Chain A
Amino acid sequence: MAFLTVKDISHLYFTEKNYTKALEEISLDVEKGSFVSLIGPSGCGKTTLLSIIAGLIQPTQGEVLLEEEAISKQNSSIGYMLQQDYLFPWKNIIENVLIGPHIQKNLTKEITEQAERLLEEIGIGNTKESYPNQLSGGMRQRVALARTLITDPKLLLLDEPFSALDYQTKLKLENLVMEILKKYDMTSVLVTHDIGEAIAMSERIVLLQSNPGRIAKIFNVPKEIIKLSPFDARQEPSYSEFFQTVWKELESLE
């Protein structure tokens, strides 16, 4: 049995006058410690799927199991980084990062120090006392990443975490995040619109098509790329070849 099982998920959004079918019969297994990326055209239901996996939306049909238990019955936290940062404007940066431990009532001195170190590592150590509106978009995104990582989640769900970053910072952070994931043996699902990022970071890439959101194809990333860090993966000869394959498939959907 896989670590994370997504079983026949379909989801409809209802409004007063209408409904949208966002997802149709999505099934997916994710092994412990592995990294899966979701890519697909805008509006194909990536965020919806991620929210369902996080247990924040109840799907119209189907179920999500984490270690063979329904996601709604979980009490350990799932690290979910939303598409926008949603930092609390009335809390300063360190308070924002520590909101998870604060909610879970284990705000210890160690955690606080760990949070400070994490902020250092992702290059925004000097913003601790600032408020979110004093930070740039990319800095805010890094704070949101730290907020997600600090609770040490078994399952990490990332919704376009690097979209507001410049290329250089993005590469650096990809490497850093991969190191952290390896160290703590975290299982991750990443939503991205950047094919290169999906290839460099993940073991499998799930391509979704839209209206309604369905799995179009699942790619296994070549072994030699998986072994490398996200930065080095981009230099690997087979990288660009594989990029073309995924690109063509994505093109044919749009």
Chain B
Amino acid sequence: MSNHEDQLLFTKFKRKKKKEKRLVLSWQVAIFVVFFVLWETLSRLHWIDPLIFSSPSRVWSLFQEKIADGSLLMHLQVTGFETIAGFILGTLLGILIATLLWWSPRLSKILDPYLVVLNAMPKVALGPILIVALGPGYVSIISMGIIIAVVITTIHIYSAFREVDENYIKVLRSFNASRKQIFIEAILPASFPTMISTLKVNVGLAWVGVIVGEFLVSERGLGYMIVYGFQVFDFNLVLLSLLVIAVFAGVMYKVVEAIENKLIHHKS
């Protein structure tokens, strides 16, 4: 086959790829538009109760109002800070505990049943205790985010550490590597993909923890907005918070994905 023909095939391949991408994107936009249009129409026609389900236009005007008086930004800032803090601390703590468990196999055997129980337990049930112990402020809310993320992080990452092929360790040990060197050169990089996927799960978990925490503390934040809206029966407010949370959880997820692409460069 001539070079020219190869080039032609390649162009064709690229065109096909592009077409597919455009198709997917247009469907995504279509679903988005249909959803909001449907919501608006059904609400106006009273097919769904506008008092409960509100409508995009009402949420929008409330959004503008809350932006203007600065309160939405304040709530968003509070929740955003708590979520990011809970997410980062929970993940780091999980990695740290997983490292300790890897370091001492005996410790990991001893702690195994406790981890299983902690993992199965609904962590939000600890909320009231946390608030009494740490006071009704952002500390206990962040702790909520941490507690929800940390156990599952520990379990996932520790099992990734253990699944690293024994023979990589053999290679390093043949060079007289210390346990620390084995950890840095083989265990840690081999577990990167798992860490990233855990990070993605943790984005969601940290939001759960923080919103539940704010439900309980009820002072500030998007969780507070939801509870307040519920109490005064203003569901515009509830839906506004929900939409804002959806947008920001999505943004956080995308950031983690960008980090992933940066770190795992050898998988081109």
Contact = CB atoms under 8 A, between A and B. Distances in A.
Interface string A83-122: 0101011100000000110111000000000000000000
Contacts of A162: none
A90 B189 contact: yes
B77 interface: no
A226 to B, nearest CB: 28
Contacts of B171: 80, 82, 86, 99, 147
Interface string A141-154: 00000010001000
A127 interface: no
Interface of B: 165, 167-168, 170-177, 181, 185-186, 189-190, 192, 266
Where chain A touches its partner, the secondary structure class is: loop
Contact-size category for A: 20 to 34
Interface string A72-85: 00010111101010
B77 to A, nearest CB: 38
A82 B165 CA distance: 13
Contacts of A51: 170
Nearest to B167: A86
B185 A103 contact: yes
5 smallest A-B Cβ distances: which pairs? A80-B174, A103-B175, A100-B175, A103-B177, A90-B189
A78 to B, nearest CB: 6
Nearest to B168: A86
Contacts of B173: 56
B176 A133 contact: no
**Which of A99, A102, A103: most chain B Cβ within 10 A?**
A103
A179 B251 CA distance: 60
A23 interface: no
Contact of B176 (A82, A89, A103): A103
A148 B11 CA distance: 44
Contacts of B165: 86
B141 to A, nearest CB: 37
B189 A99 contact: no
B179 to A, nearest CB: 12
A119 B165 CA distance: 26
26 contacts: A56-B170, A56-B173, A56-B174, A75-B176, A78-B174, A79-B174, A80-B171, A80-B174, A82-B171, A86-B170, A88-B186, A88-B189, A89-B266, A90-B190, A90-B192, A90-B266, A99-B171, A99-B172, A99-B175, A99-B185, A103-B176, A103-B181, A104-B175, A131-B266, A147-B171, A151-B175
Contacts of A208: none
A81 B48 CA distance: 71
A151 to B, nearest CB: 7
Given A82-B170, A88-B168, 14 more contacts: A51-B170, A56-B174, A75-B176, A78-B174, A82-B171, A86-B170, A86-B171, A88-B186, A90-B190, A99-B171, A99-B185, A103-B176, A131-B266, A151-B175
